[in-house]
């Protein structure tokens, strides 16, 4: 969305106060037996790298590396509306064809800023980790009067005039391969052909610009975790098994979809089973050099799958065996849906315990014991940091009984607060020293609960703790020109990276620095894709002055936008009378 303001920023209200981050811990004692200690040293740490999700996938568009046509799912066309603009798709041809853009010769010419573009916006659960775009050619018109065409490739983390690729009034460029690994989270990439006529409009009856893309390979970060419910079947009955037994379940994933499942028996993985090919979309195309699965669709696999796996228990020796059921999504993010033991050919109950009424009494990890207290430390800090969107957030802890660590225990992780789209339902396992680590999926503010249940037949957790995760959105601002005078306007544009966006958009305060404080003098609304535009015209500057501007989330919040307060980069503008 865009807006315009004509005024001089002065005598305006002061800046809002920033919110204070909090970390809340809640503990619940066992209701049926002595509790085990859960000492959680919860550390919320930021990493210097970009978003670090568990796994990634590659999205091929137009053609795969070996020339197979794959379409352009996920790319959309955006245009300013002028006639004689065209966006074409001839990707169906093997080893040929492109996603093309052109400002063709028009009897009306083109105004400065006329543009047509292909835009890829990452799905709400993803960011773009790296990308390769193959350009067979681009063309731009040039005039000595400063009237030029432009063809460019730009990502959401780049500010004018920094581009991956730019042909500015330079004729034909020939084949170019654009390959980049951004240092920050990227949410969209645009490829465009436009008129950049700073000296006036682009002329009539002249081809202004053309841009072609033969193929692209986008590596998407995915931090969603599969959720598994409805576990059932004879394999998990707790009785002594013989013959073939099965386990059934329903798996769902809010990211790229459910891919496969497999059993791990006594530490050895059984063959993976592709759960649903989704009419061929969910079949790995291969051809990557980094080991990621590759697909031709941003969401290749089914969101929810009901399935079952079978095991021939007659192939197992009599006695107890460890069993895990693991489900992963298209990017390889895994959930341990079941982690326990089975008994075959008449062996006694798990961990030597009797099977009471068909319900096994199985210890969760080693050495759960009686008479402990629950103690919590926060790595020397009681207040968690506010983490910038896309940076790594890690929760660390340790589980022990007195001075004895509990190893091999499952700690359940669930969401207590925050939007439904950011819900978490997974688990982590403690190591030999009782420690564990959990990387929080990229997303908004939320509260996570970590729970430990000592025995399988306990009615509830033996101990639990909660941690509040506070995330500030990443806001980028561009202003041009940087030098102007009274009677002229400056144009603002930018993005706010932090999904999900509310339907009504995200309201941002427009601010100017006065001394050591920021003062609000207007507001702008970022649209459903996180983009905003704004203009400001000066008319009352009496002497050369340098202003410093930024945009920020209002201190009262921005509607249903579930993020902690944050502000953009600051931009300076020099204004003359």
Provide the 10 A C-beta neighbour count for residue 277: 12
Domain for residue 32, yes or no?
Answer: no
How is 471-535 classified by DSSP, letter by letter?
A: EE-EEEEEEE-SEEETT-EEEEEEEEE-SPPPTT-EEEEEEEEETTEEEEEEEEEE-TTSEEEEE
Domain for residue 70, yes or no?
Answer: yes
Predicted model pTM: 0.57
Are the beta carbons of 377 and 39 closer than 8 angstroms?
yes
Tell me what pLDDT residue 49 has.
28
Are 10 and 150 part of one and the same domain? no
Are 316 and 395 part of one and the same domain? yes
Tell me what pLDDT residue 538 has.
87
Tell me what pLDDT residue 436 has.
80
Are 147 and 103 part of one and the same domain? yes
> Higher confidence at residue 386 or residue 75?
75
- Per-residue pLDDT band for 7 (boundaries 50, 70, 90) equals very low
Tell me what pLDDT residue 52 has.
32
Domain for residue 29, yes or no?
Answer: no
Q: Which of 452, 446, 489, 486 is nearest to 469 (CA)?
A: 446
Q: What is the average pLDDT across 567-577?
A: 91
Q: Which CATH number covers residue 538?
A: 2.20.130.20
- Per-residue pLDDT band for 367 (boundaries 50, 70, 90) equals low
Q: What is the average pLDDT across 13-40?
A: 31
Q: What is the average pLDDT across 158-176?
A: 86
Please say if the pLDDT value at position 1 is more than 70.
no
Q: Which residues pair with 281 in a beta bridge?
A: none
Are 462 and 483 part of one and the same domain? no
Domain for residue 25, yes or no?
Answer: no
Q: What percent of the chain has pLDDT over 90?
A: 40
Are 457 and 479 part of one and the same domain? no
Please say if the pLDDT value at position 255 is more than 50.
yes
Are 422 and 481 part of one and the same domain? no
Select, from the ranges 44-48, 294-298, 406-410, the one with the highest average predicted confidence (pLDDT): 294-298
Tell me what pLDDT residue 546 has.
92
Tell me what pLDDT residue 227 has.
95
Structural domain of 543: 2-20+472-576
Residue range 312-364, pLDDT digits in tens: 888 888 778 889 999 999 999 999 999 988 888 633 333 333 333 444 567 77
Select, from the ranges 367-381, 471-485, 551-565, the one with the highest average predicted confidence (pLDDT): 471-485
Last residue of a domain, one of 178, 198, 222: 222
Tell me what pLDDT residue 456 has.
72
Provide the 10 A C-beta neighbour count for residue 6: 12
Tell me what pLDDT residue 370 has.
56
> Higher confidence at residue 396 or residue 285?
285
How is 444-456 classified by DSSP, letter by letter?
A: S-EEEEEEE-SBT
- Per-residue pLDDT band for 285 (boundaries 50, 70, 90) equals very high
Are 549 and 455 part of one and the same domain? no
> Three-class SS of residue 186?
strand
Two structure tokens written together for 429: 């396992």
Residue 173 and residue 80: Cα distance in Å, rounded?
Answer: 25
- Per-residue pLDDT band for 127 (boundaries 50, 70, 90) equals very high
Tell me what pLDDT residue 334 has.
92
Q: What is the average pLDDT across 257-276?
A: 91
Q: What is the average pLDDT across 157-186?
A: 87
Tell me what pLDDT residue 198 has.
66
DSSP tag of 347: P
Looking at every residue in the chain, the average pLDDT score rounds to: 80
Are 210 and 254 part of one and the same domain? no
Q: What is the average pLDDT across 46-52?
A: 30
Tell me what pLDDT residue 558 has.
61
DSSP tag of 31: S
Please say if the pLDDT value at position 46 is more than 60.
no
Q: What is the average pLDDT across 466-477?
A: 86
End-to-end CA separation in angstroms for the chain:
30
Residue 39 and residue 29: Cα distance in Å, rounded?
Answer: 13
Please say if the pLDDT value at position 20 is more than 50.
no
Are 491 and 432 part of one and the same domain? no
> Three-class SS of residue 134?
strand
Please say if the pLDDT value at position 232 is more than 60.
yes
Domain for residue 480, yes or no?
Answer: yes
Last residue of a domain, one of 416, 442, 469: 469
Are 202 and 297 part of one and the same domain? no
Q: What percent of the chain has pLDDT over 70?
A: 83
Last residue of a domain, one of 159, 187, 222: 222
Q: Which of 249, 250, 258 is nearest to 224 (CA)?
A: 258
Domain for residue 185, yes or no?
Answer: yes
Q: What is the average pLDDT across 153-174?
A: 87
Two structure tokens written together for 107: 């009897």
For 206, 296, 559, the CA distances from 170, given in Å and listed in that order, are 15, 33, 46
Domain for residue 104, yes or no?
Answer: yes
Residue given tokens 């020293």 in the structure block: 433
Domain for residue 28, yes or no?
Answer: no
Are 432 and 283 part of one and the same domain? yes
Please say if the pLDDT value at position 371 is more than 60.
no
What is the tally of structural domains in the chain?
3
Are 322 and 457 part of one and the same domain? yes
């Amino acid at each position: 969305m865009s807006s315009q303001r004509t005024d001089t920023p002065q005598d305006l209200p002061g800046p809002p106060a920033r919110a204070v981050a909090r970390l809340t811990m809640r503990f619940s004692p066992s209701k049926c037996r002595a509790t085990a200690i859960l000492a959680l040293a919860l550390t919320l740490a930021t990493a210097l790298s970009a978003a670090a999700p568990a796994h990634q996938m590659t999205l091929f568009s137009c053609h795969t590396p070996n020339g197979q046509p794959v379409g352009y799912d996920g790319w959309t066309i955006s245009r300013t509306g002028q006639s004689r603009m065209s966006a074409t798709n001839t990707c169906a041809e093997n080893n040929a064809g492109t996603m093309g853009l052109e400002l063709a010769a028009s009897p009306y010419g083109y105004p400065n800023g006329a543009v047509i573009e292909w835009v890829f916006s990452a799905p709400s659960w993803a960011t773009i980790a790296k990308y390769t775009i193959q350009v067979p050619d681009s063309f731009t018109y040039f005039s000595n009067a400063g009237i030029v065409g432009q063809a460019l490739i730009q990502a959401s983390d780049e500010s004018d005039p920094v581009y991956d690729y730019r042909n500015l009034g330079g004729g034909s460029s020939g084949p170019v391969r654009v390959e980049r690994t951004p240092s920050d989270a990227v949410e969209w990439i645009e490829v465009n052909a436009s008129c950049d006529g700073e000296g006036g409009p682009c002329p009539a009856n002249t081809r202004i610009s053309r841009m072609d893309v033969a193929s692209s390979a986008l590596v998407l970060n995915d931090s969603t975790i599969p959720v598994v419910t409805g576990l059932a079947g004879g394999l998990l009955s707790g009785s002594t098994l013989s013959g073939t037994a099965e386990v059934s379940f329903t798996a769902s994933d809010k990211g790229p979809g459910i891919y496969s499942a497999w059993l791990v028996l006594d530490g050895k993985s059984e063959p993976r089973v592709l759960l649903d090919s989704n009419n061929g979309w969910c079949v790995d195309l291969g051809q990557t050099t980094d080991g990621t699965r590759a697909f031709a669709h941003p969401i290749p696999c089914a969101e929810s799958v009901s399935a079952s796996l079978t095991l021939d228990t007659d192939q197992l020796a009599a006695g107890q065996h460890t069993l895990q059921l693991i489900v992963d999504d298209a990017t390889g993010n895994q959930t341990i849906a079941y982690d326990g033991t089975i008994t075959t050919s008449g062996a006694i109950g798990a961990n030597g315990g009797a099977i009471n009424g068909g319900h096994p009494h199985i210890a969760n990890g080693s050495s759960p014991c009686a008479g402990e207290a629950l103690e919590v430390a926060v790595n020397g800090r009681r207040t968690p940091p506010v983490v910038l969107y896309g940076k790594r957030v890690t929760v660390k802890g340790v589980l022990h009984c007195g001075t004895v660590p509990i190893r091999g225990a499952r700690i359940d992780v669930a969401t207590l607060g925050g939007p439904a789209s950011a819900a978490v339902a997974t688990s982590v396992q403690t190591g030999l020293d009782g420690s564990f680590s959990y990387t929080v999926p990229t997303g908004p503010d939320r509260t996570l609960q970590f729970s430990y249940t000592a025995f399988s037949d306990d009615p509830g957790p033996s101990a639990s703790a909660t941690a509040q995760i506070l995330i500030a959105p990443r806001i980028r601002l561009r202003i041009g020109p940087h030098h102007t005078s009274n009677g002229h306007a400056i144009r603002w544009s930018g993005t706010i990276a932090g999904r999900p966006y509310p339907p009504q958009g995200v309201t941002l305060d427009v601010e100017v620095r006065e001394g050591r404080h920021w003062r609000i003098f207007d507001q702008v609304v970022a649209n459903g894709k996180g983009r905003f535009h704004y203009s400001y015209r000066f008319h009352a500057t009496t002497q050369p002055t340098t202003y410093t501007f930024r945009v920020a989330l209002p201190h009262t919040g921005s509607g249903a936008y579930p993020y902690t307060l944050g502000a953009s980069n600051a931009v300076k503008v020099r204004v003359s009378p």
